[in-house]
Amino acid sequence: MVTEGEGTKKLDYKRLVGLVLGPLLFVLLVLLPPLRDPVTGNLMNQTAPWAPNAALGLMLWTIVWWLFEAMPFGVTSLTTAVVACAMIGLSPKAFGYSTAKSGVSATLETFFNPLIWVFFGGFVLGWGMLKSGVAERIARKVTLFSAKISRNAFWTIAGMWFIVWFLSMWMSNTAATAVLFPVLLGILASSPWINDRQAMIAMIFLAYAASIGGIATVIGTPPNLIATAFLSQQGIADIGFVGWLRYGVPVSVVSFIILLIVGKVFFGKAELNLEAVKKAWEEKSIGPMSPEEKWFSVVFGITVFLWIFRGVAKAVGWKIVTQLIPHDAIPAILCAILLFGVPRSLRPYRPFFNWKEGVSAMDWDTLFLFAGGLIMGNMLFKSGAGLWLGKKFVAAGGGSPFLVALAATAVTWLITQFASNTASTNMMVPIVISICKAAGFSPHATIGAVVMPAIAASLAFLLPVSTPPNAIVFGSGKIKISDMLRYGLLMSVLTVPVSILILKLTTGL
């Protein structure tokens, strides 16, 4: 009899179940009766009645493969793209495309979505900070400083959370996470007293802090701008920068306090020994800054400045700046050009950082994972399945503005876990406004019903694909999807009801 240790391999039942369950759910959804409008009873998609069912099935297929890790995440995303293209090929007009060729092109171009390049820039910054030695130098200074203040390493980690929370108020959550992510990586790599579980918590809560920070200001995250734009367009209210603060700041501050409390409880205590810290650093002298460190610091400063400057320019209306830098992807790509293109010497030619080495170190699996989420969300909305979800849950609000807001918040929060918060807000806000108008709600009540789901779109804590900051920290390799799901559920249970209560008070619903 051959024992397991003598060469047999244990069957991975988890992957096998996921591998079968994903496509099975897809087929079952397609075979169900076509989705109909909950209000009118008409088919959600007149061109191809099966399309909304297929889009929901594709969503379930993708999510099951992610959760069960049936395939590498990148392969799952490629599968999502192939199935989506096949669906478009069967009926391009059902998904809003004039021809199958244009639909397939638009779907595959998702892998070059600007957000993907923001991710890429974040990974380049992370790799460059570690490769140059800047991360180690910063980690040295931060750990020594924090060790003098407190012997608990948690407060060093909490400091990182605070910084990303504050930065996210003024720049994109993605960019803020990209800035702090490599710094936190350096601290963790240089802190043997922080165990793997604590490192995982440090990473996950960094992403959560970024999402929570973006709630505070109208420029902090796209859902805020989408909500105010629709309210202004429909002549309901013009909520400016200051006007949004009354809604966003209380939710953001209270949610961050909750994050600190939960983080402290689960992180526990990692006792720092100041003498041991000093000795550890003294044994490995890093000397003065190298040319690579200096150049990386310059590139890092340029990238961060452009991200922040673009956000400020959007707020004050400097169109020339937003025209020259139309997306956060531009500074991210410029970062890579400067790091890998500028030579340190010409005889022989040698750049500061090696392109092949840098590219091979990029986490392409995470980049593909997020692209798959964008494709999945796009199919959901274009097929009519997203609209069906919105009407199904929001219509349950009846004649009460608060119940409408509550139902809209629930469905927005659910959808934003699996698709971009921008897309989910774009879908939900028009539905809410139309329901409010049909019910004859006052402008004041309509504002509340719109602001509540818009803020809920930022509470995307469950999955790496839920929001870019989640995807960035997931790329560290220190986090499992099950870990993010567990802590994300806990944070959602605590922050969503509290946010609803605060917004009920501040909006007067």
pLDDT for 334-348, tens place per residue? Answer: 989 999 998 888 878
Work out the end-to-end distance of the chain between its first and last CA atoms, rounded to an integer number of angstroms.
71
Say what the pLDDT of residue 201 is: 92
Average pLDDT value over all residues in the chain: 83
The pTM of the full predicted model, rounded to 2 decimals, is 0.68
Residue indicated by tokens 């790799």: 127
Say what the pLDDT of residue 254 is: 95
Say what the pLDDT of residue 6 is: 40
H or E stretch at 346? strand 343-346
Residue spans of the chain under pLDDT 50:
1-8
Calculate the alpha carbon distances from 434 to 231, 384, 414, 439 in Å: 11, 17, 21, 9
% of residues, the chain, pLDDT over 70: 89
CA atoms of 497 and 491, how far apart (whole Å): 10
Cβ atoms of 122 and 367 within 8 Å: the answer is no
In this structure, is the dihedral angle defined by the CA atoms of residues 346, 352, 357 and 359, taken in order, positive or negative?
Answer: negative
Say what the pLDDT of residue 281 is: 58
Say what the pLDDT of residue 498 is: 93
Say what the pLDDT of residue 444 is: 85
Residue indicated by tokens 């779907």: 107
What is the 3-class SS of 87-124, one letter each residue?
HHHHCHHHHCCCCHHHHHHHHHHHHHCHHHHHHHHHHH
Calculate the alpha carbon distances from 167 to 156, 172, 198, 214 in Å: 17, 8, 23, 8
Distance of CA 17 to the CA centre of its chain: 28
Q: Could you give phi then psi for residue 351, rounded to 5 degrees?
A: -75, 165
Say what the pLDDT of residue 5 is: 43
Distance of CA 84 to the CA centre of its chain: 22
